[in-house]
Amino acid sequence: MTDAVGSIDMPDAEDASTESKKKGRKGGKRGKKGPLGRLALFYRQIIAELRKVVWPTRSQLTSYTTVVIVFVVVMIGLVTVIDYGFQEAVKYVFG
């Protein structure tokens, strides 16, 4: 009798290869290298990731910086107005 995977009487190919899975690598790349090798690999991976970054152009950077500075100035003004309002309310209530 068979099912979708294979015969009931015979194990699947994946089940037969469990012995080879037990004798696999220990730790992959890290198992073969010492601490300095792992550190070098870490820095190589950092540099590889930094190469993937899309850096903004000078004009984009200028516009982003301007937007941030304007936003911060607006928020400072808003907090100042609210703080002044609370200050006057406390003066009115407590005298």
Q: What is the pLDDT of residue 2?
A: 54
Q: What is the pLDDT of residue 91?
A: 93
Q: What is the pLDDT of residues 73-93, one digit of tens each?
A: 999 999 999 999 999 999 999
Q: What is the pLDDT of residue 33?
A: 76
Q: What is the pLDDT of residues 30-61, one digit of tens each?
A: 556 788 999 999 999 999 999 999 999 999 99
| Positive or negative torsion for Cα 34, 40, 44, 45 | positive
Q: What is the CA radius of gyration of the chain?
A: 32
Burial of 72 (0-12, 13-18, 19+ CB in 10 A): exposed
* pTM listed for this prediction: 0.49
